[in-house]
Amino acid sequence: MPLTIKPLHPLFAAELGGVDLGRDIDLAMQQAIEQAMDRYAVCVLPDQKLDDERQIAFSRRYGPLENASAVKAQRKAGVIGTRIRHPEIFDVSNLDENGAMLPGDDERWRYRLANELWHSDSSFRQRASTWSLLHARIVPPSGGETYFADTRAAYDALPQTMKAKLAGLIAEHSIWHSRGQRGGYVPSEDERAARPPAQHPLVRRHPGSGRKALFIASHASHIVGWPREEGRALLDELMEFATQPRFVYVHKWRVGDLVIWDNRCTLHRASPFASNEHKRELHRTTIIDARGDLAAELH
């Protein structure tokens, strides 16, 4: 059965039909999904009956996967343990290792609050990520939507004077910068050492589409070589511009949804829900950008 595509937004995002990832797919389907991702950057595959092994195997078709067990808060939640048994699975939930809801003052929940800020997964790594794949297992009756912004369309809409200003600029990204903004999570010295900051160009060319995209996020702390306040003001201006409603698609989750997004040309953020009343469980795999070198990104 051929892949079907239904656009979900005038600029990006689409729903893909005709694919069952609970079974093995052939090379033609693999390539068709990749081509859809190059065009739409966010793709929704509904009604996918996946366990973690299937999700990992499908994700690996597109590159090596990040290891989630390096995150202290993730380890406590049960990676390679009771509820989540694979280090490639990032736990996006309000649940503990036994499936009970976390109390609001638990450090694991406070760590995840920063996901409500606009961000690009793993931009704080020197080898950042290409795609994230998030599969919904339990969703609350309301709230908990995910917002996505197209940073290719945002870059295209910038005035020429701003595009010229951004050329060649480098931003430093740190997960501890974003985690300090929400929830008050305090990393250990070992965590700081394990996840040092990374530097990336503010504008990168998206390899799949050939279009330029802003590479900004809540992880971006400052612009290298600029006075701190001046750099922060520019980053804030770009974030406000890129997350205007005209560039944003809002996804309301259904059980079984697999949403794939390209971190190189999108931003996303979680929205709140009644986390003390309802369970929410989604499992994420994240593909490492094997290119990862600054010279390649500058082309």
Whole-prediction pTM: 0.91
Q: What is the pLDDT of residue 103?
A: 86
Residue 131 and residue 279: Cα distance in Å, rounded? 26
Tokens 């050329």 correspond to 167
Q: How many CA atoms lie within 13 A of 290 on its CB side?
A: 5
Q: What is the pLDDT of residue 299?
A: 35
253 φ/ψ sector (left φ>0, alpha ψ -120 to 50, else beta): beta
Q: What is the pLDDT of residue 71?
A: 54
Q: What is the pLDDT of residue 183?
A: 56
| CATH code for the domain of 239 | 3.60.130.10
Q: What is the pLDDT of residue 135?
A: 98
Answer whether 129's CB lies under 8 Å from 292's CB: no
In the structure encoding, which two tokens stand for residue 210, read together? Answer: 């050939």
- Report the chain (299 residues): mean pLDDT per 10 consecutive residues: 95 98 96 98 98 97 88 48 86 90 77 81 87 98 97 98 97 78 66 80 96 92 94 96 98 98 97 93 95 44
Q: What is the pLDDT of residue 18?
A: 96
DSSP 218-280: TTEEEETTS-HHHHHHHHHHHHHHHTSGGGEEEE---TT-EEEEETTTEEEEE----TTTS--
Q: Which domain holds residue 277?
A: 4-298
In 3D space, the residue among 279, 277, 275, 286 whose CA is nearest the CA of residue 255 turns out to be 279
Query: How far does Cα 230 stand from its chain's mean position?
Result: 27
In the structure encoding, which two tokens stand for residue 133, read together? Answer: 């794949």
Q: What is the pLDDT of residue 292?
A: 52
Count of domains for the chain: 1
Residue 59 and residue 234: Cα distance in Å, rounded? 35
* Distances from the Cα of 191 to the Cα of 78, 186, 187, angstroms: 18, 10, 6
- Tell me, what amino acid is at 262? D
Q: What is the pLDDT of residue 110?
A: 66
